[in-house]
Amino acid sequence: MTSGFKLLCAALIALGLTGCIAAPIEMTAQTETRLKTQAPVRFLLTFDDGPSASSLWNPSATVLDSLKDNPLQPGIKAVFFVQTRAPRAGNSDIGRSLMRREHDEGHIIAFHTATHWHTNHRLLDPQELEESLTNGTADIAAISGAPPTLLRPPFWNYDKRTFAAYQQHGLHVLLTDLSANDGKIWGFNASPRRRANMLRQLSEVRERIALGELPTVDGVIPVVVTFHDLNRYTARHTREYLQILLDSAAATGVRLADKPFYDDHAALEKAALARTVENSSEAVNLPGMWNWIWDHDAH
C-alpha cells in the first residue's frame, strides 16, 4: 500500500468519524450584489464507480429509477462515470445491461476506468494506462455507438502524463464542485451530515459564482455534483438528495434556474464539456479535503 493511499484512507476515515464540517460561509452584502449580475444555477448531476453488478436490489438501477421518477423534476439526466472492466461493475452482464439502460434513457456514459480495481491512473505504467483507456473507450462505444468524450480520473487525481494520455484519446476531464461524500469507506456506506456538507460546499461555490469564476452555458451556470451509484445509501436517498440540493440553494442565496436539473442529453453534454479542465497545469477547486490531498503534487 502506497503512502499516498494510506493518507487518503486515513483522511477519509477521520472525516467520516468526526463529521467535522465547517459552517456555511456567511453571505456578505458585496456577494449578494454580485450574485444579482450572474445567471441562475442548474445542478449537473454525476455518478461515479458504477454500474453495480448486484442482482439483489441493485443500487444503480434504483438511482436510475429515482432520476426518472421523482416529485421535483421527472426525467433528470446525469453523467455516469463507469468502470467497464471491474467485475463488480461494468464487466458483468448486469453492469452492461445497466449501461445500455443509461444510454437508452438519455444519460451520458462517461469513462472512469477500465482496470480490474478502482486504481489511481497515476499508479499505472504507460502501457497499462493505454490499455485501460483503449479498452474503456471501446467498451463504452459498444454500448452507446460512439466513444466517450468525458472522463473523471479515479480519486479526481491526474498529472501531466495521464492528462496527456487522456487528450490523445479525445477525453476531457470533468471534476466536481460539490461532493456528497458518499464514497464507500472501508465498507461504510453512508453520507455523514449530508445537509451540513452540501450547505458548506455550496456556500463556497456561491462565492466563486459571485466572482464570475464559473461559466454561463445557455443562460445558466452548471454546478457539478458528484455521487456514487454503487452506494446503497445514496440509492435509497437519491430523491432526498435532490431536495437537499434545492434546500441548500435557498439557504445559501443561490438562485436556481426554472429547471434546477438537466433533463436534456445535448444540453447536459454541452454544459459538462464547458466545465472540463483545459490543461494539466490549470488550478482546480475540489470540494472539502481533496485540494489538500492532491494539489501539492498532482498537476
Per-residue pLDDT of 135-146, as tens digits, reads: 999 999 999 999
Cell of 17: 468519524
Q: Exposure of 230 by Cβ count < 10 A (0-12 exposed, 13-18 middle, 19+ buried)?
A: buried
Quick one: pLDDT at residue 4?
A: 53
Percent of the chain with pLDDT over 70: 88
Quick one: pLDDT at residue 193?
A: 78
Answer for the pair 116, 88: CB distance below 8 angstroms, yes or no: no
Phi-psi region of 217 (alpha: psi -120 to 50; beta: other; left: phi over 0): beta
∠140-238-219 over CA atoms, to 5°? 75
Quick one: pLDDT at residue 6?
A: 44
Alpha-carbon distances, residue 277 vs 102, 161, 261 (angstroms): 25, 15, 22
222 forms bridges with which residues in the sheet?
A: 42
Quick one: pLDDT at residue 296?
A: 52
∠134-139-143 over CA atoms, to 5°? 145
- pLDDT tens string 56-97: 999 999 999 999 999 999 999 999 999 999 999 999 999 999
Name the amino acid, one letter, at 274: A
Q: Which residues of the chain have pLDDT under 70?
A: 1-20, 184-192, 292, 294-299
What is the four-CA torsion angle of 101, 103, 106, 107, rounded to 10 degrees? Answer: 100
Could you say which DSSP state residue 214 is in?
S
Answer for the pair 191, 198: CB distance below 8 angstroms, yes or no: no
Quick one: pLDDT at residue 18?
A: 41
Euclidean distance between CA atoms 231 and 177, whole angstroms? 20
Quick one: pLDDT at residue 181?
A: 86
Quick one: pLDDT at residue 298?
A: 54
Answer for the pair 192, 181: CB distance below 8 angstroms, yes or no: yes
Quick one: pLDDT at residue 222?
A: 98
